[in-house]
Structures are given as structure tokens and as C-alpha cells.
A and B are shown apart, each in its own frame.
Chain A
Amino acid sequence: MSTTTHGLGGLKYDPSKKARAPEWNVFFALVGIILIFELVGRIVMGDSFLFNTRDNVDTLFNQQRLQIIILQVSITGIIALGVTQVIISGGIDLSSGSIVGATAMIAMSFAQVAMVNGNPNPKAIFAEQGWLDLPVIVPVAVGLACGALAGFINGALVAYTRIPPFIATLGMMVTARGIAKWWSKGNPISFPTESYAAIGKGMMPVIIFVSLAVLFHLILTYTRYGKHCYGIGSNEQAMRMSGINVEKMKVLIYVIAGLLSALAAVVLSSKNLTAQAGMGVMYELDAIAMAVIGGISLQGGRGSIIGTVLGALIFGVIISGFTFLKLDAYYQEMVKGMIIVAAVVLDQWRQKSRARG
């Protein structure tokens, strides 16, 4: 039974012609970009982008490159997961990068060792208080609490003062960056404990990113929270009429985004073994760009975590591809910018053609 006829004027519906999930388009774009790099690499560089060409290694793919592709987008990817649910619910979060900076500074100052090479830690922030060599749970908890607080302020501003999310989170963006600079008067904070340094070591960022991506995919697909994110982004008034506490939901959505930014800050500062006031600058835009390239509609209501993960991978592939082709970083940014615009234009076209039906 390929065609079924239903009521309403005998509308015909062919179940086999179900619309292709938009994530497939992002996936094809990813494959296309990889193919371009592979082809250009073979022709221009005489080397493969993706496959292993070294004789001393016995793997099909160039594993090192694959690892780098995902490693370099893992931390912004964690932020992008939070940004995705914010955008799906019809909002925007410009503050993630600054929250990364502020929480990295604050968390790191609770993660410092007492002694460096037999001398007292010269950069210890809380030396007087003796808050050194603390168990790893302390800096992590403090960092997450800061992120949650920043997210709570964002969410409360958006939900209860009804100012546009753009403005509320822009305010947080500037404020949190100020806090990051003020915290140690602009000095970097270094020398974390070993257990803190382990959080972002090696491939840990990838493991954290991938597990969180799976978790948030499940949350957005199978829980009330996810359903209501899409609902609020789709028709806030309808949600309100259906008795859903939209304000509370929005606060929760921004708190979770703040928590993810804070987690990214912990992973990043741990990976770099230092925290600086300028950490995470522009991360919010990278995160938004990943979501947008992954097909998350800025109008809200549409998109998925799978899309964002694919968007992040496209980012990683482009950065790696340009390095592989030995092209300057300037070109990377130009191409990144163009891809963001192209992604939104394609999304608009897709919507229009669907509306015409």
C-alpha cells in the first residue's frame, strides 16, 4: 500500500514520499566539503585529506586528522548544545563566550596548587585564605554555579522584563567580560591541580562533548523540556494558553545554556592549564554559527542536536582542511563567514519551497 487516500476532499498522501529530514542536507554538505578537500588535496598537494597515506601506520583513515577535527570544535561544541536549545525556543544567547571567560577565571582560582617546583605558588589568588590544593569538585562546582547564575539572570531578564533576548544577553556579554578582567586585574591564573588538569586532558573534551550531545539529543527528543522548547519557539502564545509556565521554562533554558558555557570554561581552562580574561572571545558567535549551519532556524521551533553536531563537524573540517592545504587562517574566517550566510539563505529557500508545497 504505497498510496492511501484520506478524508478532506480525498487528499492523497504517499507515506513513502515523506519529507527528508533537514539534517540530511547538512550531512550532505559535510560530505561535500570533505570531498572538495580530498580532491583538492590529491590534485594540489598530492596527499589525501581523510585517508592514511603513511606506510608506517596501519589504518584506513588519517586518525590523527579525524581526532583534531573533532577536538578543535569540542569546546565550542559544548556551548553550541546550549545555544541550540536557546535558539529552538526562539531566543538567542550572545553571552556564552564571556561566561566562558568569567567562569574560567573564577573556577581556575579555586583550582590552584599550593606549591610549584618547591616554591609557593606565585600566582595563587586565594593564598591568604589558604584555598589551595582543593579537591577538584570545588572549582567545578564554583564554575558551574557561576554559569548557572549568569544563565539565571539572562533567563529572568528575558522572561520577566520581556526585553529582547538579544539585548539581555548582550548586556551579560559585556558585564561577564568585565568580571573576567576585574577578577585578577587582567592577570592570567595558572598552575591548576593535577585532578583539575585531567578534566580537559587529551581527548577528554571530545568525550565530554559527545556524551553531552547524546544527552541533549535525548532530552530534546523525549522529554517534556524538549517538547516545550520547540513549542515556545513555535508559538509562545499557544503554550501560554495551554497552561505552560513559559517564563519558568525560559529561565530554565538559559540556566542550562549558562551551565554548558561554564562547563566549556572548565574544560578549556583545564586543557590550557591557565585561565585568561580574554578566553572565549567570539565563542558565542562560533556556537551560534554551528547551530545555524546545522539547520537550527533562528525563528525558533526547528532544528535538532544532530544538526548542531553536524554543523560543528563542518566547522572542524573547514579549519583542518585549510591547515591541510597550508592556507592562511585569514581565508578560513572568510570562508566560515560565507558558509554561515549560505546556510541561512538555503534554510530560507527550503522554507519557501515548502510553504509553496
Chain B
Amino acid sequence: MSDIILETRGLTKRYGGVHALEDANFILRKGEHVAVVGDNGAGKSTFVRQVTAVEQRSAGHVFFDGQEVNFAGPLEAREAGIETVFQTLALADDLDVPSNLFLGRELYKFRMGPFSILDRKAMRDRTLEALKTTAVKIPNVDNPIRNMSGGQRQCVAIARTAAFASKLVIMDEPTAALGVQETAQVENIIRGLKERGIPMILISHNLRQVFDLVDRIVVFRRGRIVASLNKDETDGNDIVSYITGVKGGEPANA
């Protein structure tokens, strides 16, 4: 039991009458990198939103790091050690890179409730450090990120996740909007997480990337988990058959 970092039992989410996620049983072991694949609307992002408590689940249980958890919101999930890169970048365009990296967990020189004085130098130094370890290059971290390219912004979001990653990293299509070079950079960050032994759930449409990066592939279809396959025991065609429903009519446990 002790090597399981995240487990969901019967995780279900309904939006009104729409069953976006139905009875998802999912297990992630420590140090394991798992890809979540599936068609649009298969329930991948919904699954992530329940785990990270961006939304409250309709039913089911989530166990994290050996304990059942009921996070009230994404901050609690983050404080427990789940770092997430959301599909919609959770960045504030008018703030600079350090402010975005430390959004909601600012460093202070002096604490006075809401008027606590920020330690801008420490945040800037640690930002440069974090960008260095993730090999992300940003021309000028003091510029508002509005002026940066989509790739650079994505790199900021991912650097934030990687820098604060402690127990679990979730990335929802981190390279969807990126160019070739930027994608390679993000993939390097992911390999770095693997080396550091930090478990990860990667949502991706890019099967080449999935086979490159992860140990196990979980397929969602119509709100259900239909397959959980070790990378070495499957191939692209196999995965596609599960995604499209040619294979795996029965719900599976991941």
C-alpha cells in the first residue's frame, strides 16, 4: 500500500445529466509517470479537476499519500503536494515571471496580513534558479508575461510546477500550443521530474510523446477508464483502438 501516491475509487462527476466521469478507479505509484489519453470529451480534464479539487466530485473517494483526502479547493491540493499545470494557463498576464511563479505563495520580508511586504529579491533569485534547473530560458523575467510568446508562457507555468513539485505533478496538455523546440524543452523538464523520482500524470494527445515519456498509459473513453497498459506491452495502434472504442468495451481499473 505504501508505494501508492494517488488512488481514486469510484470517482464520478456529473454536470447535471451529463456523466463526464463515471466510476474511475485509478492508481499511481511513487515515481511512476502515467499518461492519460482519450478523445476530446473523454473525461481526462474532468478527472484532473476532481483530483485537484478545482471542482467537487459527485461521488467516489480520493486517496493521496496514504490518506483519504477531501480537498476544499486547489490550494489545499497544492499544499498537500499536488502541483498542476492546467490546460488554461493559470497565469496572470500583467505580472512578471517571479510574481507568477510565486502566485499565492509569495515570500515575505515582513508579515502584516494582506499588507505583508513582498521579498521581491528573494523571489527573483529563486525564479532564476528554478528556470536554470528546468533549462527554461526567458529573456527578461521582469517583463510582464503578456509580452511573451505562448511557448515562453507555457514554460513559465511548467517551471512553476516543476520548481514546487514535491509529491505529484499533473500536466494537462502541456505542449498543445507549443512549437517543436519548445515542446522538446518541456519534455526535458518532464524527464528531469522522472529523474528526481517525482510521479506525474500527463494528459496528452501526442502519442509519440506519450510513448517517449511515460511508463504506463491509461485510456479514457466516454467518461470511463477503458484500459491501463504498460508502455512496453502496447503500441500506437493498440492505444488508438481503445481511444476510438474498437477495443475495450468493458470498463477497466487503472
Interface residues of A (CB under 8 A from B): 4, 6-9, 11, 13, 15, 18-19, 219, 222-225, 227-228, 230-231, 233-235, 237-244, 249, 252, 301-302, 354, 357
Contact = CB atoms under 8 A, between A and B. Distances in A.
B93 interface: yes
Given A8-B149, A228-B114, 13 more contacts: A15-B140, A19-B147, A222-B118, A222-B120, A224-B108, A227-B95, A231-B94, A237-B90, A238-B92, A238-B103, A239-B92, A241-B86, A244-B75
Q: Which of B90, B149, B152 has the most CB of A within 10 A?
A: B90
B222 interface: no
A238 B84 CA distance: 12
A242 B103 contact: yes
26 contacts: A4-B139, A7-B137, A7-B185, A8-B137, A8-B151, A11-B137, A13-B139, A219-B115, A223-B114, A223-B115, A223-B116, A227-B99, A227-B106, A227-B118, A228-B114, A230-B94, A230-B95, A238-B91, A238-B92, A238-B103, A242-B74, A242-B75, A242-B103, A242-B105, A301-B93, A302-B94
A222 B140 contact: no
A249 B103 CA distance: 14
Contacts of A354: 147
Contacts of A240: 74
Given A15-B140, A239-B104, A224 B94 contact: no
Contacts of B103: 231, 238-239, 242, 244
Task: Report, nearest first, the 4 A-B pairs whose CB atoms are least far apart.
Answer: A243-B75, A7-B137, A242-B104, A301-B94
Given A230-B92, A230-B94, A241 B74 contact: yes
B88 interface: yes
Interface size classification for chain B: 35 or more
B117 interface: yes
Among B118, B135, B149, B152, max chain A CB count under 10 A is at B118
B181 interface: yes
Contacts of B94: 230-231, 233-234, 301-302
Interface in B115-167: 115-118, 120, 135-140, 143, 147, 149, 151-152
B95 A243 contact: no
A214 to B, nearest CB: 15
B7 to A, nearest CB: 24
B54 interface: yes
A231 B140 contact: no
Nearest to A242: B104
A20 to B, nearest CB: 13
A225 to B, nearest CB: 4
A11 B95 CA distance: 21
Nearest to B93: A234
A34 to B, nearest CB: 31
B115 A224 contact: yes
A225 B114 contact: yes
Interface of B: 54, 73-76, 78-79, 86, 88-95, 99, 103-106, 108, 112, 114-118, 120, 135-140, 143, 147, 149, 151-152, 181-182, 185
A243 B82 CA distance: 13
A354 B182 CA distance: 23
Contacts of B90: 235, 237-238, 241-242
A244 B104 CA distance: 6
A234 to B, nearest CB: 4
A130 to B, nearest CB: 38
Q: Determine which residue in B88, B91, B103, B120 has the highest number of CB atoms from chain A within 10 A of its CB, and name it.
A: B103
A237 B93 CA distance: 12
A251 to B, nearest CB: 11
Contacts of A234: 92-95
A166 B106 CA distance: 31
Nearest to B140: A13
A357 B137 CA distance: 19
Contacts of B89: 238
Nearest to B103: A242
Nearest to B77: A243
Contacts of B138: 6
B137 A6 contact: yes
Given A238-B89, A301-B93, A222 B117 contact: yes
Contacts of B118: 222-224, 227
Contacts of B106: 224, 227
A235 B139 contact: no
A123 B2 CA distance: 79
B140 A225 contact: no
B228 to A, nearest CB: 28
Contacts of A18: 140
Contact of B92 (A4, A223, A301): A301
Nearest to B111: A224
Nearest to B109: A222
A11 B139 contact: yes
B141 to A, nearest CB: 11
Interface centre among A15, A230, A243, A249 (most CB of B within 10 A): A243
Contacts of B116: 223-224
B104 A223 contact: no
A240 B86 CA distance: 12
